[in-house]
Amino acid sequence: MTTGPRSGSHFLLLCMTPLISVGCGAASEADPAISGVRQRPTIEGPREGVAREGVARESVAREGAAREGVAREPEPPTEACLGVADKGIWSDLDDKIQIRLPPGLTADRVSARLDARRALLVLAIDGFPRKVYPLSGAATLQVGPHALALRPGDRAELASLLAADRITEVPQGPAGAAAAPAAARSPHDADGDGIPDPLDILIGAKKTVQNADAYTEGYMTMKFPMGDVPREVGVCTDVIVRAVRNAGIDLQKALHDDILRARAAYPMIKERPDPQIDQRRVATLLPYFQRHWEKHTEKIDDPKDPLRPGDVLFMDTFPSRSGPDHIGIVSDTIGPNSLPMVINNWTNGTVTAEMDLLTFVPVMYRFRLPE
């Protein structure tokens, strides 16, 4: 949040208005905005690999049919939404959220975690959770010993990617148990919905895009804990608060408690901490992230530490001033310059959206919740 109108951002906004994504028409990793543009190797693009024993049987059958010239039935369309029950914010938007897998994805990069109790399958790419699938559909996909009850579109998407030796199962408790046993609870699933925190944050951020709250500055009173400004308004920091809350983490309370524990780490707090506004200021959030989240390189093209969807970026829109003044979340959507879009609320006159910021706004810090 800025304390006054972001004039520099207004100038940049005029230059970048055509780059703002709108709804389901935004380009994604499965549908780059400009075909033929070289994908940066750090943005989870295609990688050569070979299918291993245990890959879903019909993917092999399809390849054989294609070689023999046998006619194939058209594949079902991609599912319109993730189709999972999310414990986080704004459940009315659950049916509007979808995540696309990168083009050219190969089975050697994919692993999955099967949660039979919650009827979920969490897919990871290079070990990082990227998408969740409901296991309550009518299109069964047999992968080794695993019979996955998928929706038709999900089955078509996963048929050539899953291998039996790369599927692990979440330990299950006694039949009829009301809660997950301790062994089944991931330390990185704060709300216990079976969706890993970094993926939950991405889903929450995508909900803020669908919500499209209008950039509105000013001090606003709210409850504590679990407080928020009215859903129709917000600033850049509110995107972060809401997305992180989708994972079951109350950033308002976590920051307030940390200020009380480590006052010296927050020199910008001159008097008493104020949970009405502290979490809505970029400068006040930075020490919290430095103290509690994984720090990653600020470089956007480091192959050893690539950008991941759900990463939180602290950005510099006023280079003449010291420190970051803007914040956003890396999206799964790839922009026209082959870089991930950034989910953010930019300035006065905008709404929360995916924007192509990485081409011209410097990143000063990047953080991630543990995987």
Region 349-359 average pLDDT: 97
Where does a domain end: 150, 184, 218? 184
Q: Can you name the residues that pair with 330 across neighbouring β-strands?
A: 342
36 in the Ramachandran plot: left (φ > 0), alpha (ψ -120 to 50) or beta? Answer: left
Indicate if the pLDDT at residue 240 is higher than 60: yes
| Residue 319 confidence class, pLDDT cut points 50, 70, 90 | confident
Domain count, the chain: 2
Region 275-295 average pLDDT: 98
Which pTM does this prediction carry? 0.80
Backbone φ and ψ of 42, nearest 5°: -90, -5
* 365 and 190 Cβ atoms separated by less than 8 Å: no
Indicate if the pLDDT at residue 324 is higher than 80: yes
Indicate if the pLDDT at residue 175 is higher than 80: no
Does residue 43 belong to any structural domain of this protein? no
Do 231 and 269 sit in the same domain of this protein?
yes
Summarize pLDDT for 47-77 with one digit per residue, the tens.
Answer: 333 334 455 545 544 555 455 555 566 778 9
Do 260 and 342 sit in the same domain of this protein?
yes
Where does a domain end: 153, 184, 215? 184
Bridge-based pairing state of the strands 294-296 and 312-315: unpaired
Does residue 299 belong to any structural domain of this protein? yes
Of the chain, the percentage scoring pLDDT greater than 90 comes to 72
Do 297 and 175 sit in the same domain of this protein?
no
Does residue 249 belong to any structural domain of this protein? yes
Region 320-338 average pLDDT: 94
| Residue 194 confidence class, pLDDT cut points 50, 70, 90 | very high
Region 265-284 average pLDDT: 97
Token look-up 């000063």 returns 364
Do 150 and 266 sit in the same domain of this protein?
no
Domain that holds residue 224: 7-34+197-368
Where does a domain end: 184, 215, 246? 184
Do 118 and 179 sit in the same domain of this protein?
yes
Do 126 and 11 sit in the same domain of this protein?
no
Do 78 and 178 sit in the same domain of this protein?
yes
Does residue 46 belong to any structural domain of this protein? no
Region 159-180 average pLDDT: 80
Do 150 and 208 sit in the same domain of this protein?
no
Does residue 155 belong to any structural domain of this protein? yes
pLDDT, residue 73, reads: 67
Do 139 and 111 sit in the same domain of this protein?
yes
Backbone φ and ψ of 88, nearest 5°: -80, -145
